[in-house]
Structures are given as structure tokens and as C-alpha cells.
A and B are shown apart, each in its own frame.
Chain A
Amino acid sequence: MTSLIETIRRASKQRETSLPLRSITFAAQAIGMIAVAFDTHLWLVTFLSLVILVLGHLNAYHAAKTHPNPVIQVAAFVMLHGSLCWMIIGLFTTQPFPQAQFAMLATAIISWELFSRLNLMSGLGFGLANLYVAATLSRDLLFGFFLILYVVFLLAFLWAADSEDGVRSNPIILRPHGLTKEPKGYAVLESVRVLETWGPRFGLFLIVATGLVFLITPHYAGQPLIKPFSFRVPIRRPPSAQVINPAIPLVQVEGWSDGQSEYYYGFASQLDLSYRGGLTKEIMMYVRSSASSYWRSQAFDTYDGRTWSQSRQDARYIPYDGPVFHLRDIPPNSNRFVQTFFIQQPLPNLIFAGGDPADIYITANGISVDYTGGIRLGEPLQPGMIYSVVSTPQNFDPDMLRNVDTAYPAEVTNLYVQLPPTVTARTTRLAHEITKNAPTQYDKVIAIRDYLLSNYPYDFYPPAQPPGKDAVDQFLFVDKRGVCEHFVSAMVVMLRSLGIPARLVSGFGSGIFNQITGYYEVHANDAHAWTEVYFSNVGWVPFDPTPGWTGNPQTGRIQRWLFSNAFNGVDLSGISVPMGDVAQAGAVLLSTAAMPFIILLGIALLVTGVWWLVSSWRIGRRERQSRVWLRDPARQQVFRLYRNAQRALRAYRQPEQTVQEHAALHQEIARLASLVEIAAYRSVPPTIEEIKLGTSEDDK
């Protein structure tokens, strides 16, 4: 350990005076800061950090050639701890991204102490740390640009360092023929040649290798160390019984919505089937989830032939009591998955969640849960808000659903079998016709769903809904095309006509999973409606009859890596082994088993750090004692005489020569040489008599 510390101290003492290396380090650190700024918009802090970074590198470059200024070192120490305090304060106040601010400021302050090659490399590590922060905040592909730049600078540093070492440590440098004299800018020419011959090959290998590693390494959620969290200004208003949709236009024309808007009429207290219109591709929110799911907002139970609404306005109010809103207990040993929602555009005062939510992390004074499971807030969701939901997955076994009892509780049949008188007989006949061969409830549901999927196309702009006509009848027998609400309404009405409880649910589809950022990108045109059907002793099971969407919107596995779903069943002696699960289990085991090692590693690092501090102090004390020892006046006098003698003889001792070797070549100072050795090495300083004896007229 001591030899390791000595090695690090030695490496740290070797000053690095290479301007190219320092410039590259600066650039790599700056890239990390700018990447953070792009995601956090902390432009002022970034600008300040860049200024400190520039000055720091200039100071360190100058100090590497001369001596570090102790005043600056103390100031850097104070500033570093000051920025740490700033971060801690920011965590408890409303400072935006306090950790990101600290990362940038720390990188900038430490640049004042980057004297050696080892220091510069640790500076690159700080740049990587800033990139890490930027990566966690980035939700689009722009981060890739910064990452590529950083990698370019990192590789340039490594290359330049090796080139400089080669030139420094070898006495003979060879150049290719044709270059007899070293032209100005040969290093640049050399770099261009290298890029010409290697750049494409290395780039190709890098892209292929990176892609392969990315695809084949398991991406598993593991056991997160950091609990779900919520950011931003708390929602202070109590939950509202109404759905507040900020995208509702001031002027609403019946039967028509904006040609391109973020207003989805499913996010309202009523859902009017006569509305038409398209939604934009604007990203409304990013969702980080360990499972795929639809993001459910609310359900409607009452259909009047044209509009869906909720028959009850009551809701269960849950006040804020700690960091989490607890909706229900999760049975032990149940699976769960966490979703974190990053709001990008104004959204209604509805909590979107996947699966069956149990806990919600949101900074609000209270939430309410209606009878359909919809969760409401007091205010609409604003851009920048972040909340998390812990849910249990919704996965239903078809065989189990086939075997359920068809006796329903009264509170279910009272609400969810209701049909208005506008429902036509042919609608009911169609429902019976479709399901005549379906023996169980589940089969009937599937039959109706598949019938709609197969026989009715999706159309963004179906014909206008004629007044007074039943919307479902119009869809099934006249228009024969429509949007998701039509398909869902038809399915619900037909199921209810068979006495099966069903309801219409609104929310967002899962969106597009971005493999690189790891987020679901939920666009405005992902707003969707689907069906929930009640099964006794099971609960509400989702189905989606709309073409172009998943027919079974249950919680699913994300295709995170190449073999996520590969080898779902491999028969080993009659036991089917899902290899994808095996790989994931391995990742679980690794992740779980790694925890104690991570803790042990942390303890080891702490102990090592303490040991390093103590050893450094001891080594420094030895050096200080040595310096004090040599400051003895008698010793100093001898050394002065020796220096004068060398000057008089014009024969200076070379660094590799010992005093005696030097004296062997210059007999005049032989006696003085012996005295010098006494002064340098003997524990007792030379006496006056010894000094007199060691010096003579000749020596003087």
C-alpha cells in the first residue's frame, strides 16, 4: 500500500507541461458541462464554471512549470467545499438540479490543481462524471453528439500522451522517407495521416463493437438504490372532481376539434363520440418504466348513445403524509414495476399510470381516487413536473379467465351493464351472432374484439356523426370505420348487451420506446381509449379492439436488449425454460449479489482513503523532518563551502555523481567532500573542529 501511495505521489509530482494535453483535457471537461447545460438550462452556472475552468487550466499550466501557489490551493479547497454546501442547500430548497450544479462547479474548481499527467487524466474522469449527469437528464438523441465529442477528445488525449512519451523517452525519432527535415506542423500532418488510414477502420470497428455490446448486454431494472422521486413545485390545490384539461380550446365546435392539437377529448369529464380531429406528434411526456404498459388515466361507465360520462362524482381523498401516496397494499412476493413520468407539455390534472398503481410519489397536498381508479390532482400537470408510480403488473392467464364465474357483484352490474335505449336491436343481434360459438365469457370478449379488429378499418376522419343516431350503431352498420373511441364503444356496448360488465378507459398508449435513451416517448397522438372487462374474482382486464394497437394491453416486457424475449421456451427434459428469463434472472442475481459487494467496496474505499491520508501525512512528516534536519546551521555552512568550492574550481557535481565520485576527479576538494558527507548523512551535525579540519587554505 505504501509503495502504491509512493507511486501515485511520484506520478503526481511529475509536472505535465504539454499544452496539447491540457487543451484536450479542457475541451473534454467543457463538453461535459455544456451537455449538462443543454438539459438543465443552467446557462449561468455553466458559463461561470467555464470561466473558472479556463482560468484554472491557465493557472495550473503556469504552476506546472514553476510552483503551485499555496494561496490558490487554499482558495480552491474552500471553494470546493463551498460549492458542496451550495448543493446541500439546494437539495432542500427549490434550486434547480443542485447535483448538476455541484458537478460542474467541482470540475471547474479542481482544474486549478491539475498539475501532473495523472491529474489531467482525473480531469477527464470529471468530464465523464458531468456526462453521466447529462445522460441521466437527457431525453433525446442530442446527448449523443456530446458523447461522441467527449470520446474523440478522450482518444486524442491518449494518443497525444503516448506520442509525447515516445518522443521524450527515446533518443532517436525516425520519420518516413521523404521527410528529411521536420516541417512545421509535422505533428498535425502525422495526425492527419493517422486519421486517413485508421479513422474509418477504427470508427467502423467502434460502431460495430459498441452496437453489439449494447444489444447483447442485459438491460435489467435491478434493485434500484434510489427510490422513486418527484420534483418541482408542489401542487397545493386539493384534488378537483372535474377534469381540468389545459388543452381544451376556448371555442369548442361541436363535432369538431382542432385539426392538429394536443387536446384529446378523452381527457375530460365527458367523452363525446361526435368529435373528430387529429393530434400532433408533440411529445407530451417521457416515461421511464421497467415494463411496457398503457398509461391509464380514467374510465367512463355511462353511455347515452353519443357521450360517455361518469355516473358518480365521489372520490376517495388521500392527503399528503410523507413522500408517498399509498393507494393500496401490494401483496408480498408480488412483482412490481416503477414508472417515472417526465411531463413535457401541459396535461390534465390526471395521474397517468401503468398496471395497477399502488404508490404514487408526487409533490401535491393531496390526491383523489375515483370509483373507476382514476387519480386526480388539484391542478393540471405542468411541463417539468416529475412523478413516479409503483404498480403491480397486469398479466392475466387466458385459461384462468375462461374458468371464472359469471356471477357479478351488484355494484358492478349496476354501473357497467347499463345501456341506453338508443342501442339498436341489430347491435345486440350482432353481438349474439359473433359470440354464438364462444363457450365462456373470455371467449366472447375475444370474439367481439377480433371481429372489430378484422372487419373495421381505422380512420382519423370518419364521417360526421348525424344527430339523434346512436354512435355505435352508426359505426357498426353505416360508417363502418372510425377512431379508437368508436371501436371501444362498440365493444363495450356489445359486451353489455350480452350482460358482461365493460367500460371505456382513456389514457395514453405506451408510446415509442427509445432504445438508446431508455424512455418511452409519449406523443399527443398516442392518446387512446381501450376497453376494460370485469371478470369475477379477477377484476378489470384490459382489451384493445382498435386496429394498429396491441390487442392485449397488459403489462409486458420491454425489448431492451437483443435477447430480452429470445428463447422463451427451451425444453430441457420436459421442463420449459425461458432463456430470456434465465438471462434476466442472472442479471437479478448479479444485481442483488452485487449489493453487498458494492457496500463492501464503499467501505474499502473509505478505509483506503483514510489509510492514504494517514500514510501521506506520515511520509510528509518524514520529509518535513528531513528538511528541518538539513536546516542546521553547521550543515548549511558546509554545503555553502562546497558550493563555493565547486564555483571556484568551475567543476560542478553532476546529478548522477556522488560527492566522492566528484572528489575523485578533483582532488583539491577531497577533504571537503568527506565533510559534506558528514553534514548530509550523519545524525550529529559536524563540529567546528571538523569543519576547520575539513577546510584548508587550498579549499578556501
Chain B
Amino acid sequence: MPTKRTRTLIIAALLLYFFANQTQVGWLYVMAALMLGIVLASWLLNRSMLTGITGERHLSLEEIYEGDSLEITLNLHNTHQTAGAQIRTAEVCPLADPETPEHQIEVFLPILPGHQSTSMTYSVPAYRRGLQSFSALDVTTQAPFGIFRTRRKIEITTRVLVYPEVRKLNRLALIDRQPAAQQSRPRAGLGSEVIGVRPFRPGDSPRHVHWRSVARMQHLMSKEFADEAHPGVTLVLDLFQHPYSPSTTKHTPFEWSIKAAASIAEYAYRRGYPLHVVADSTMLPPPPGPVSWSGLMQYLGRIEPIGTQPLSEIIPAQSYQTYVVVLIPWPDDWLIEPLLGLKYRGLDIEAVVVDPASFPTNGPSAESLIDSLVGAGIDGTLIRFGKDWAEQISGTVQRSKIAV
């Protein structure tokens, strides 16, 4: 692409050529030809200035959680013999807060000789969870002499999955008020959820023999129930596309609900509870439970509120563990009935409700929902923006209906 200098040199050449024709001075023809020659030679060199430039990117951490500070190293190589010069580029780091200088770092490379390389390392805190892709590196140069500008996009494929921020909860009332998990019992028949079939053991109730399996297997098989002495936790996530305000920050109701889910999961893992996930499976099916920690983080890192099915329609059709934590980022009164349904099935439920009205992005207030849930006998925690959500979840300010 030509620059202003191209125009200046061409005008100078035309003027010199005009005067050369007027005066017939041979040197003026030479000078005019020289001006144009500089333009042509610069164009030829400029075209090949960036062709040999390649790059790669290295990150200092394998697993990155929101808030982690990591070092990113950008290496640029010149694979050709010809030196590249006066190279400008901007490293756009999607991991950084868009409002901070680390988001876009302007770099200047005076010269990169042939078959040599250079690198730049910078630290950046991972601002927001999610699957972040670095865009192609846009390099430009106006060398030599600023007469032409050439631009090239260097594809340095770097995709980073940032896990949600996890904070250690001090307590979780839902789990803490129940007896600790005991050793698994060999006898079937306890718990309400059928989780499979197994060979009949002495002591099993004859009422729970699974006759179909017996016919198939030609020996006694018994139904296996979820053991109430070894409960699990089911996280229920609302991925429905509520009317959230568009925002690139990490302080949105949905993001906070994910952080809360991750922290609750961490607490459950720490206490030895297996974890299951229930959510809209249209876009990204949740991992089948029990979920490993990395599997859960990868799932929580990827999900976005783009589901097409409201949570109120998903809840009734799923199977659950003993403890159910429902993360509600957007108040929806239709949730009350299905949650009651779960309660009537004998499950322990806690609703962690995020109050959009308290967020900078605004939204409806969740006060009435939480009151309704508590009034219906479902324990709930209201999380407001501005205070530590971990403390709010594990704090003493819990809402529950006081049994009268």
C-alpha cells in the first residue's frame, strides 16, 4: 500500500520530467527516473519484507484459572535470508482485561536479521474464564524508507481455556448439616434412586430382584440404589439465554453463578462428595457424572448462556444426587414448582440465587424469588455484587424457613 511519501516522490518525478522536457537537460531525466526508481525498488523490497516471519506463543501455565497470573512468551522468527526491518505489531491478549494496557501491547522490531529470532515475555492476569483465542498477529512494516506499507497476518494458533475462579468456601450449609458420608453399604434398598443392577447378595431384599436381568443372566440380579450414606452433589446450572445486558466484564450475574458453582464443587470434592451436573445439553452436553475435577472445570470454562431451554423445563426430567445445588443467575418464578418437585422427591436442595439488580449491568431483582423459595421451604442464598460471593455462600446469612 503506498504512503504519502509515494505520492511525494511521484509528484517530484513528474515535475522533474516536465522540466526535463522543457529544458532538454539529460540529468533531469535521470533525476526523474531516479525518483521513480526509488519508488519501484522500494515496492519490490517491501513486498518481501515480512514473508519469512513466523511466530509461536508459549504460556507458562497448563491449567489457568480466572485471576491467575501467567507469563506469555511470543517468539518471532525470520526464516528467510533477508532481514526484516521496522516491523510493528500489536500483541492482543484476550486473557487480559480489555481496559488494561496488557490487552494490547504495541511492539516495534527495528531489525530481525535473516534466520534469527526474538521474543517478548509479558505477564498478564487471566481476566475472565472462557475459551480464549488469540487473533492472528497483525504485522506491518513500511521498510524500506516508508514509501510502501505491507501488512501480513501471522496465524499463531493459541487457544486457552480459562477455568472459572474458585474460592475456598468455609462451609456449605447444605452439606454440612447432613451427616458425613459413611462407608458404602453392601445392601441394596436404601436410597430412592436406582442407579443400576448387580448380582444378588445375601441380605438383599427379595422385593428388589430385577427379574428381567435374571432371565437374561440366568442368575439372581438385584436393583442397586443410591446409597444415602454416600451421597453425591448435583449442580444444576441455568444456561438459558436470559435478557442479560451485553458485557465483556467478568462481573455479570451469569459469571458469578459459574464462579459459585465452581467453588461449591470444590467444597464438595474436598469433602469427598461425587459431583454431577445438570444443565441444558443443547449446546454443550454436561459431562456424565460423576464428574472429574478437570472435566468439570473444562465444562464450566466453556459454557455460555446460550441455551434454548428454560431451566424450569429441564429440572423435572433429570436424575439427581442426594444434594442438589441450583445456581440461578436470573430470577425466574417458574423455577419454584420444579424445585418443589425435587424437594418432594426427598432431595436436599439449596438455591444459590444471584441478584442481577445489584450488578453494574443491571437487571431484575431476585429478592422476590428468594423469598418465594424460602417461603416454599427451599433453602436459598442471595448473592449480591459488591461483596465477596464466597463469603455470601458460606456465610451465616442464609435464608431458610424456620420450622415452626
Task: Decide: B27 and A516 in contact? CB cutoff 8 A.
Answer: yes
The residues of A that contact B108 with a CB separation of less than 8 Å are: 166-167, 169-170, 172-174
Classify chain B: how many residues form its interface, as a range: 35 or more
- CA gap between A206 and B147 in the complex, in Å: 14
- CA gap between A159 and B85 in the complex, in Å: 10
Interface flags for B235-275 (1: CB within 8 Å of A; 0: not) read: 00000000000000000000000000000000000000000
Minimum CB–CB distance for B103 against chain A, Å: 13
Q: Which residue of B lies closest to A141 (CB)?
A: B27
Q: Which residue of B lies closest to A518 (CB)?
A: B26
CB within 8 Å for A176 and B24 given contacts A151-B38, A170-B107: no
B357 within 8 A of A: no
The residues of B that contact A224 with a CB separation of less than 8 Å are: 22-23
User: Among residues 519 to 553 in chain A, which have CB atoms less than 8 Å away from a CB atom of chain B?
Assistant: 519
Interface flags for A154-173 (1: CB within 8 Å of B; 0: not) read: 01001101110011011111
Task: Decide: B110 and A205 in contact? CB cutoff 8 A.
Answer: no
Find A177's partner among B5, B119, B146 (CB 8 Å cutoff): B119
Task: Decide: A163 and B110 in contact? CB cutoff 8 A.
Answer: yes
Find A172's partner among B17, B22, B105 (CB 8 Å cutoff): B105
- CA gap between A587 and B20 in the complex, in Å: 12
- CA gap between A288 and B83 in the complex, in Å: 46
Interface flags for B1-45 (1: CB within 8 Å of A; 0: not) read: 000010000001000111111111111111111101110111011
B114 within 8 A of A: yes
- CA gap between A267 and B125 in the complex, in Å: 94
Q: Which residue of B lies closest to A219 (CB)?
A: B29
Task: Decide: A159 and B27 in contact? CB cutoff 8 A.
Answer: no
The residues of A that contact B156 with a CB separation of less than 8 Å are: none
A1 within 8 A of B: no
Minimum CB–CB distance for A426 against chain B, Å: 50
Task: Decide: B41 and A170 in contact? CB cutoff 8 A.
Answer: no
The number of inter-chain residue pairs (CB within 8 angstroms) is 180
B112 within 8 A of A: yes
The residues of A that contact B38 with a CB separation of less than 8 Å are: 151, 155, 206
Task: Decide: B31 and A135 in contact? CB cutoff 8 A.
Answer: yes
The residues of A that contact B208 with a CB separation of less than 8 Å are: none
Minimum CB–CB distance for A143 against chain B, Å: 6
CB within 8 Å for A201 and B111 given contacts A132-B19, A209-B36: no
The interface-forming segment of A71-79, A192-200, A371-379 is: A192-200
B143 within 8 A of A: yes
A290 within 8 A of B: yes
Find A147's partner among B12, B17, B31 (CB 8 Å cutoff): B31
Task: Decide: A198 and B45 in contact? CB cutoff 8 A.
Answer: yes
B283 within 8 A of A: no
Task: Decide: B145 and A219 in contact? CB cutoff 8 A.
Answer: no
Q: Chain A at the B interface: mostly helix, strand, loop or mixed?
A: helix
A688 within 8 A of B: no
Minimum CB–CB distance for A511 against chain B, Å: 14
A515 within 8 A of B: yes
- CA gap between A517 and B363 in the complex, in Å: 81
Task: Decide: A193 and B22 in contact? CB cutoff 8 A.
Answer: no
The residues of A that contact B41 with a CB separation of less than 8 Å are: 202, 205-206, 209
- CA gap between A201 and B46 in the complex, in Å: 12
Find B21's partner among A167, A194, A197, A591 (CB 8 Å cutoff): A591
Find B83's partner among A173, A197, A220, A514 (CB 8 Å cutoff): A197
The interface-forming segment of A210-218, A498-506, A571-579 is: A210-218
Q: Which residue of A lies closest to B80 (CB)?
A: A197
Interface flags for A567-603 (1: CB within 8 Å of B; 0: not) read: 0000000000000000000010001001000100000
The residues of A that contact B113 with a CB separation of less than 8 Å are: 176, 193, 197
Task: Decide: B20 and A219 in contact? CB cutoff 8 A.
Answer: yes
B144 within 8 A of A: yes
Find B26's partner among A193, A198, A210, A514 (CB 8 Å cutoff): A514
- CA gap between A594 and B18 in the complex, in Å: 9
B120 within 8 A of A: yes
The residues of B that contact A167 with a CB separation of less than 8 Å are: 108, 110
CB within 8 Å for A214 and B33 given contacts A162-B86, A197-B113: yes
Most buried by A among B34, B109, B113, B119: B34
Task: Decide: A159 and B40 in contact? CB cutoff 8 A.
Answer: no
B100 within 8 A of A: no
Task: Decide: B105 and A171 in contact? CB cutoff 8 A.
Answer: yes
Most buried by A among B31, B45, B106, B142: B31
- CA gap between A135 and B29 in the complex, in Å: 10
- CA gap between A562 and B71 in the complex, in Å: 62
Beyond known contacts A170-B107, A206-B41: 7 more, CB 8 A cutoff:
A147-B31, A162-B86, A174-B120, A193-B111, A205-B41, A206-B34, A210-B33
- Residue contacts A-B, CB under 8 angstroms, 7 given: A135-B25, A135-B31, A155-B145, A162-B142, A163-B110, A224-B23, A516-B26
Please list the residues of chain B having a beta carbon within 8 angstroms of any beta carbon in chain A: 5, 12, 16-34, 36-38, 40-42, 44-45, 76, 81-83, 85-86, 88, 105-114, 116-120, 142-147
